[in-house]
Structure 1
């Protein structure tokens, strides 16, 4: 099973490149985990290249502003690659008339693309960045809307494959949950973010631009999401450092203490094989 480490410094010498998740590892949507970005800054100082790899539907410039405002250190990373970055290519390849599902803050996803947001009945494709009011709505609130889209057999581009994220001490539904419901209703989804290959290929290309050639065996992915971070990295053949204190903590944490037997059982149920684990990156 995964080996417990006390500090990322314990294993940093084994790697040249870090692909690190953002929401759940570096911050919780309200504030940064200061020790996490300090750990990445120390890794960079030791010669590692750090690429942040996030399922945010926003293009990377907006994410950089967001995480800086939460307290994530600029020194913690070399590049950022977002699901929004790789999803824009899917949107550009599709019909011009789109039905957009998401909050106003997610509209930069469409910026500069030759697309036109239209009504449900006029659209040739649906693009989903998230719930419009994710603290007030549930996925079930969208069932009727998605059923109408599925009846029209519209492709459904999901810009954020995460099912949920932490916001403070709450779990908030994401676009991935809407995509899952769309699939249940018989619709077809298109996803480029984690756990799919395009976002990993883009992230590794960014790392190559920074440092030149490196071996895939010296790349480590860090994340807390089982269906996205862990599955995606393992499918790509990368070592994984699992951050156990994230969205799945309720499966094996009681009163702030990790029950390692329950953690091992959880990983076995998920058929996941991270090489390392720690509660929070530090």
Structure 2
């Protein structure tokens, strides 16, 4: 059974590093959560390391600039591991071929910027679906549209045997009060239709490998028992932590606020019922990161 806590400081002394989700945990897609920023800043001031681990389909430099715009100061984190960086590495190694059909918004074109970390990278060209060797998906063309609109294209792609590289395994996010579809919803649909989707963000291992490399680059060797994962996604953040044998802190006031009846804190019976329905067992739970 998960332990409901009142503040990060209740448990933070047990951990030397935090792997912290962004959307729904540190910001709402529009502005930072001041209490969350304060909690992470205080943790770092006591010597803890904070790695932001996000399913954003972009490079970490792009995410850092966005965080600054949202009002998240550099003093609250040490480094960033993104699903985008993990997926870009795979793309430039050729996992979906060199000619790709791109699904995403114009702002996601940064995904195709050169990646200097790869030796002899594959030259990637964006082409129409009929000419593609694979698919790169950073998100829907329209985040408000039902993923089912892609069924005709996915049926054709499946019959051609194309693999879909999913740059963001999230199904939905809440931008302020608006819920939006993410690349994970499209990848899930493609898989359900019989296609093959490749994932690199939470809850899958590649992004945790990247997060550990980011942590090691700080000159810190921290074993699993010294790392706490924090996030509001039960099927991404918490499932990923459980798969990596890492402790977790579930932020109930994010994606699952309704199910857990969270105002300031989750309603214990509602939280228990929700976790049972999801077959999930976070180490700790709290309404909001503070």
Q: TM-score, normalised by structure 2?
A: 0.94
TM-superposed CA distance for 1:211, in Å, is 3.6
What is the CA deviation profile of residues 220-257 of structure 1, one whole-angstrom value per residue up to 9, with x for unaligned ones?
A: 00010011100011100000000000111111217666
Q: Secondary structure at the match of 1:273?
A: coil
Alignment partner, residue 167 of structure 1: 175
1:191-230 map, 5 Å: 191-230=199-238
Q: Structure 1: where are the runs of 5+ without partners?
A: none
Residue number among 251, 261, 267 corresponding to 2:259 in the alignment: 251
Q: Secondary structure at the match of 1:250?
A: coil
Distance in 2 between the 1:29 and 1:145 partners? 29
Q: Secondary structure at the match of 2:100?
A: strand
1:176-195 map, 5 Å: 176-195=184-203
TM-superposed CA distance for 1:170, in Å, is 2.0
Residue number among 250, 268, 275 corresponding to 1:260 in the alignment: 268
1:26-105 map, 5 Å: 26-94=26-94, 95-105=97-107
1:236-247 map, 5 Å: 236-247=244-255
Residue number among 102, 108, 111 corresponding to 1:109 in the alignment: 111
TM-superposed CA distance for 1:273, in Å, is 1.2
- Describe the shift of the 1:266–1:157 C-alpha distance in structure 2 as closer, same or farther (beyond 3 A): same
Distance in 2 between the 1:255 and 1:214 partners? 35
Q: Secondary structure at the match of 1:265?
A: helix
Q: Does 1:126 align with 2:135?
A: yes
- Computed over aligned residues only, the root mean square deviation of the Cα atoms, in angstroms, reads 1.3
Distance in 2 between the 1:10 and 1:60 partners? 30
- Aligned residues of 2:100 and 2:124 also touching (Cα < 8 A): yes
Residue number among 155, 161, 169 corresponding to 1:147 in the alignment: 155
- Describe the shift of the 1:212–1:259 C-alpha distance in structure 2 as closer, same or farther (beyond 3 A): closer
Q: Secondary structure at the match of 1:121?
A: helix
- Describe the shift of the 1:153–1:197 C-alpha distance in structure 2 as closer, same or farther (beyond 3 A): same
- Aligned residues of 2:265 and 2:288 also touching (Cα < 8 A): no
- Aligned residues of 2:264 and 2:288 also touching (Cα < 8 A): no
Distance in 2 between the 1:223 and 1:70 partners? 18
Distance in 2 between the 1:78 and 1:41 partners? 10
Distance in 2 between the 1:35 and 1:257 partners? 14
Distance in 2 between the 1:254 and 1:215 partners? 33
Q: Which moved more, 1:173-182 or 1:210-219?
A: 210-219
Distance in 2 between the 1:261 and 1:210 partners? 41
Q: Secondary structure at the match of 1:133?
A: coil
Residue number among 277, 283, 288 corresponding to 1:275 in the alignment: 283
Distance in 1 between the 2:265 and 2:15 partners? 29
Q: Structure 2: where are the runs of 5+ without partners?
A: 116-122
Query: After TM superposition, which residue ranges in structure 1, 4 or more long, deviate above 4 angstroms?
Result: 254-257
How many correspondences in the alignment? Answer: 281
- Describe the shift of the 1:257–1:213 C-alpha distance in structure 2 as closer, same or farther (beyond 3 A): closer
Distance in 2 between the 1:238 and 1:211 partners? 20
TM-superposed CA distance for 1:2, in Å, is 1.0
- Aligned residues of 1:49 and 1:211 also touching (Cα < 8 A): no
